[in-house]
Structure 1
Amino acid sequence: MTTLEVAGTYNLRDAGAVAGTPGVLYRSAALDGLEPAGVRRLGDLGVGTVLDLRDASERPLPETDPSWTVEWVPLYDPDTGPPTHGDITDVYRDLLDRRGRQMAAAVAAVARATAPVLVHCTAGKDRTGLVVALALTAAGVPDDAVVDDYARSGPLVRPRREGTARELLAAQDLTVDQHRSSLELHLDSPASALHTALAHVRDRYGSVRHYLLHHGASAADLARLDERLSPRDDLTLLHVSDIHGSSDAGSSETSGRIDRLAQVVDHVLGSTFAPDALIVTGDLVHEGDVAAYRPVADALEHAARRLACPVLTVPGNHDDPALLRSVLAPPRVLRVGGFRLVGIDSSSGRVHDDELAWLRAELATPYGRGTILALHHPPIPSVAASLAGRGLLNADALTDAVRGSDVVAVLAGHYHHPMSGHLAGVPVWVGGSLAYLQDVRTGPDAVVGLDAPSYSLVRAGSTGVTFLPMSPTDEKVLFRTSPSATAIAT
C-alpha cells in the first residue's frame, strides 16, 4: 500500500484499500501541523470526518479548519494520559480491556461517518492502529492483511519520533529491558503485538464483532461498517415469519413459539452461512398485547447479538403496529451490503395510501445494488384453497409502486407455507412460519397445521436473488461423504 504524502503530517495511508474499498477510511499521525497544501490534499481525498483519538491535553490547538467535522474519542484514560513506558503487548491489552466502550465508540464513529473518514492519534500507530484493526477485522478483512497494514507504521514513525522518545525515556529510571520494550512501544509496530491483541479479543469475546457489541456498538453500526468496508458478491438474509409468540407459552398450539427463534439461530450458527440482517415479516405475536411483545423483543435482541447483525421487523395482521413500534422500535429502512431493505406495514391486509406514498418517495432514488421489500401479506395468491383471498388486498397498488424501481425482491409471510412468485417481474418469496406449516392439500373448508416450522435464507448478488427454505429441527442423516464422491455416484 502506498503511503500518501501530505504536507504537515505523516504515516498517512488509505486503510480502506486493505478492505478493497479505497477512499473511505484513512489513517495518519496528528493533523496539528497541517500546511495549507495538506488541507487541500485531504480535501481532494474527500475527507469529511476526522476522528481524533487523543485527549484534550494532547491537542495543542483547537481544530478550526471548516473543511471537515472533527469527532473526539479519547482512548487513553484522561486521568493518566498516554503511557510513558511499558510493554506494547500489555498496553494494547489494557486499552482493549479498560477502554472497551471508547474503542467501540471509535469504530462506531467510523461506521456512521457519511463521508470518507480519517482516524489519527499522535503518531497514528497504536491507538489508530487498534481502532483501524478492529474496524477492518469486524468487516471481515483477513488478519494477515490487517496486520500488514499495521506493521507499516513503525518504519514511518521511528525517524520522526526516535529523538523525542529517547529523551523521554532517559529521564526515567528504567532497567535495560524496560528501556528496550518502551522504545518499541514508542517507535515500532511489530506484527506480533497486533496478532496478540486480536487473539486476546477473540479469547475473551469470541470475535471482534462480539467485542464491539459487548462494549456498546450496535448491530446497525456493524451493518454500516460492513456497508463501508465489506465489498461482497452476495448479501445473505435470515428471513423468519409468523412467530405467533405469546406471554403464555402453553396457551395454544399456534403460540408460544418464541423458543423456535433461538433454535433457528443455533441452526444458522452451526452452518457456513453468516446473515447480514435478520428480517421478520410479521405476526410476531399471536395476540397484540404488551406482555406478549416483551419476550419476543428480548428474543430478537438476543438473536441479533448472537448473529451480530441488525433486525428489520414489519407488523402482521396479528400484531398491533403501534405496540410493536413502541416495544421494538424497528427501523423502516436498513442499508446492508450495498442493498436497501425496506419494511412496509400491511397489518390491515393492505398497504395504505400514506404508506404507498412514503414507499414511492423512498424508491424514487435508486440505491446501490437494489432494494428488497419486506411486508406481511404476500402480493401473490396462495396455492392453498383455504387461503383464497387472504393475500395483499391491494396488490395492484404495490405493483404500480414497484414497477420501474430498483426493487430486486419482495419478502412476505402470512401463509404459513413457503412459495414463490413474481410481482411486476420482481421475485416474490413467501417464507414459512415458526409456528406451524399450513397443509396446502386440504379443501377450502379445512385448515390443518403441521408441526414443521421453517425459516429461509435469502441470497442476493450479481447473479440475482435465490431463496432457500430451511428447517430448524434435526433431520435424520442418511449419509455423509465428500462432494467429489457424490458427483461420481450421481
Structure 2
Amino acid sequence: MRIGVITDTHLAPAGTEHFPWHTELQFETAAARYAGALRTLRRHGPDVLVVLGDLTHFGDGPSVKDFFDITVAEAFCPILLVPGNHDIPPSRDSLADAFDTLPTGRHRIVDAVRASLTASGIPIHGVGLTPGETEGEYAGTRIPAPDQFAVVLSHYPILTLEEECAAAGLQYAGDLINRADLERALHSSGCPTVAFTGHLHVRAAKASGNILQIAFGALIEAPFDVAYVDIERNTPDGPTVRVQQLAPATAARAALTDPTSSYSYGKEWTPTA
C-alpha cells in the first residue's frame, strides 16, 4: 500500500503576515502550494492520501472552505484528515460543518477521527483533539486498540521528540497532555503499529517496541514537505515501511533523520539499509 502524506498546510486569510518558526511560515502561497502538493502526489499513485492536521492557521470558516474547495477539486483517491491544534479555534464547528456539507463525489474525503478506513487490508485510525483546562493544551482522543497491523494518524506525536529537537537546536511545539496514555495503549496491543504525525514541522523517525512513528515536515515552511510511504504487510522479513520524501533534502533544516528511510518489523521496528 502506498500512502501520500501532507501535513501542516496552515491556510490563512489574505494578508496574514509571515510567522517565524524553524524558518518562516509563508501564508500567501499556502493555498497554491497545497494544490500543487496534491498534484505532485497524484503522479506517484498513492492508494490513499492523508493530511495530518493544521489544515488552517486560525480555524476560520473561509480558510476551512478554501482548504476543502482545493481538496475536492484535486482529489484523485480517498483522503483522510485529522485536526490539528490550529484547526480548533475560534469555532470547533467549522471543520465538522465542512465535512457535513461535502458534495458526493467519486473520491471519499474522510474525517479519520469519526470513521476509520481500511486500505489494502490495513486499518487506518485517526486521533482527535480535545482542549485541556489550560489554554493551548490538548488531549488526544482514544482510538480502538489495534488487533492487527495498523496505521494511526495523529497531528501530535505519540512518541515524544522533545529531547531530540532540543539536541538539534529546534523549537518544540509541545505534546498532548495524555500522550503517555496513548503510547501505553498502543504498546499494550502488541500489534505492529505505524504512527504518522505532524505538528512539530520536523522530519523524524522514532521506534519503540511495536510502535514506529514517522514525523513529517510542514508544507507551510521550507522545505515544504510532501512524502509518500510504502507499506508491505506480508514479506519474508515481516512488515516493512519505506518513506520517500519528495522535497529537496538540502532544504531540510528541520530534519532529525534521513528523509528517505526504510524499516522492518520482527519483534520490534528496526531501520534497514
Q: Which residue of 1 aligns with 2:154?
A: 375
Q: Which has the higher contact order (CA 8 A, sep 6+)?
A: 2
Q: Which residue of 1 aligns with 2:217?
A: 432
Q: Which residue of 1 aligns with 2:47?
A: 276
- 3-state DSSP class of the match of 2:54? coil
Q: Which residue of 2 aligns with 1:319?
A: 87
Q: Which residue of 2 aligns with 1:310?
A: 78
Q: Which residue of 1 aligns with 2:266?
A: none
Q: Which residue of 2 aligns with 1:465?
A: 241
Cα separation, 1, equivalents of 2:61 and 2:173: 30
Q: Which residue of 2 aligns with 1:242?
A: 8
Corresponding letter in the other structure for 1:416: H
Q: Pick closer, same or farther for the CA change 1:420–1:347 going to 2, 3 Å.
A: farther
Corresponding letter in the other structure for 1:371: A
Cα separation, 1, equivalents of 2:173 and 2:86: 17
1:431-490 alpha-carbon deviations (Å, 9 max, x no partner): 111101xxxxxxxxxxxxxx32012211111342222222189x9xxxxxxxxxxxxxxx
2:145 aligned residue (363, 369, 372): 363
1:241-298 alpha-carbon deviations (Å, 9 max, x no partner): 00000132x423332412112211232333xx31111111110001011111001011
Q: Which residue of 2 aligns with 1:4?
A: none
1:163-187 alpha-carbon deviations (Å, 9 max, x no partner): xxxxxxxxxxxxxxxxxxxxxxxxx
Cα separation, 2, equivalents of 1:269 and 1:472: 18
Q: Which residue of 2 aligns with 1:351?
A: 139
Q: Which residue of 2 aligns with 1:286?
A: 57
| Displacement of 1:333 | 0.9
Corresponding letter in the other structure for 2:155: H
Q: Which residue of 2 aligns with 1:384?
A: 165
Cα separation, 2, equivalents of 1:346 and 1:470: 29
Residue 410 (1) aligns with residue 173 (2): no
Matches within 5 A, 1:246-261: 246-248=12-14, 250-253=15-18, 254=25, 255-256=27-28, 257-261=30-34
Q: Which residue of 2 aligns with 1:39?
A: none
Cα separation, 2, equivalents of 1:388 and 1:262: 28
Q: Which residue of 1 aligns with 2:123?
A: 340
Contact 1:237 / 1:278 at 8 angstroms: preserved in 2? yes
Contact 2:124 / 2:150 at 8 angstroms: preserved in 1? yes
1:26-49 alpha-carbon deviations (Å, 9 max, x no partner): xxxxxxxxxxxxxxxxxxxxxxxx
- 3-state DSSP class of the match of 1:373? strand
Corresponding letter in the other structure for 1:409: V
Q: Pick closer, same or farther for the CA change 1:244–1:258 going to 2, 3 Å.
A: same
Corresponding letter in the other structure for 2:156: H
Cα separation, 1, equivalents of 2:37 and 2:172: 29
| Displacement of 1:399 | 1.3
- 3-state DSSP class of the match of 1:434? coil
Q: Pick closer, same or farther for the CA change 1:335–1:415 going to 2, 3 Å.
A: same
**Structure ranking higher in helix proportion:** 1
The CA RMSD over aligned residues, in Å, is 2.4
Corresponding letter in the other structure for 1:247: P
Cα separation, 2, equivalents of 1:284 and 1:424: 31
Corresponding letter in the other structure for 2:85: N
Contact 2:4 / 2:228 at 8 angstroms: preserved in 1? yes
Unaligned runs of 5+ in 2: 19-24, 101-110, 132-136, 252-273
**Structure ranking higher in strand proportion:** 2
With structure 2 as the length reference, what TM-score do the two structures score?
Answer: 0.70
- 3-state DSSP class of the match of 2:155? coil
Q: Which residue of 2 aligns with 1:454?
A: 225
With structure 1 as the length reference, what TM-score do the two structures score?
Answer: 0.40
Q: Which residue of 1 aligns with 2:71?
A: 300
Q: Which residue of 2 aligns with 1:77?
A: none
- 3-state DSSP class of the match of 1:279? strand
Corresponding letter in the other structure for 1:318: H
Unaligned runs of 5+ in 1: 1-234, 437-450, 476-490
Contact 2:152 / 2:196 at 8 angstroms: preserved in 1? yes
Contact 2:125 / 2:151 at 8 angstroms: preserved in 1? yes
Structure having the higher Rg:
1
- 3-state DSSP class of the match of 2:128? coil
Q: Pick closer, same or farther for the CA change 1:301–1:454 going to 2, 3 Å.
A: same
Q: Pick closer, same or farther for the CA change 1:407–1:351 going to 2, 3 Å.
A: farther
Corresponding letter in the other structure for 2:177: L
Aligned residues: 211
Q: Which residue of 2 aligns with 1:401?
A: 185
- 3-state DSSP class of the match of 1:278? strand
Contact 2:223 / 2:248 at 8 angstroms: preserved in 1? no
Q: Identity of counterpart residues, as a percentage?
A: 22
